């Protein structure tokens, strides 16, 4: 992606953009970990020994829940920024979320499915998303 002009209303410094982009690319890892821990807590709590720390009083369920909450907070931050950037347009929001967590371009999204907006409107929402995420991560 080209660097945005400093005159663009959604401008953030290039290296901040890269930081946020790689932050978003961790989303599938967080989602997988969240789902794994959540299913362990609900179906098989004795498997939670991975959350025990040697030499301390073990509270693996509490540690697992704390981990789940931290992961959920990160994922929700991305979701909230996507939906705010899309002004409530659900179809655009779903495609933008897919784009930012799987590093897909407009052309890739359009090849796989019909895009509900023009390229310009999509990239405006894309830049706005990273601007909002930058503000919420500070």
Task: Give the whole-angstrom CA distance, residue 118 versus residue 26.
Answer: 27
The pTM of this model reads 0.84
Helix (H, G, I), strand (E, B) or coil at 11: coil
What pLDDT score does 47 carry? 63
What pLDDT score does 40 carry? 76
Q: Give the pLDDT band (50/70/90) at residue 72.
A: very high
Structure confidence by residue, pLDDT tens digits, 90-116: 999 999 999 999 999 999 998 988 888
What pLDDT score does 64 carry? 79
64-92 burial: b if 16+ Cβ within 10 Å, else e: bbebbeebeebbebbeebbbbbbeebeeb
What pLDDT score does 55 carry? 61
Higher pLDDT, 130 or 65: 130
Higher pLDDT, 55 or 34: 34
Helix (H, G, I), strand (E, B) or coil at 40: helix
Task: Give the whole-angstrom CA distance, residue 108 versus residue 111.
Answer: 5
Structure confidence by residue, pLDDT tens digits, 4-45: 788 889 999 999 999 999 999 999 999 999 998 878 777 766
The closest of 114, 134, 138, 110 to 24, measured between CA atoms, is: 134
């Amino acid at each position: 992606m080209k660097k945005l002009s400093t005159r663009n209303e959604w401008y953030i410094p290039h290296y901040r953009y890269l930081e946020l982009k790689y932050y978003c690319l961790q989303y599938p890892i967080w989602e997988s970990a969240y789902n794994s821990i959540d299913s362990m807590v609900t179906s098989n709590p004795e498997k939670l020994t991975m959350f025990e720390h040697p030499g301390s009083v073990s509270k693996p369920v509490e540690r697992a829940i704390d981990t789940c909450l931290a992961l959920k907070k990160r994922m929700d931050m991305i979701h909230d920024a996507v939906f705010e950037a899309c002004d409530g347009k659900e179809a655009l929001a779903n495609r933008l979320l897919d784009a930012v967590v799987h590093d897909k371009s407009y052309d890739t999204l359009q090849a796989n499915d019909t895009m509900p907006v023009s390229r310009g409107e999509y990239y405006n929402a894309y830049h706005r998303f990273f601007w909002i995420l930058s503000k919420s991560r500070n």
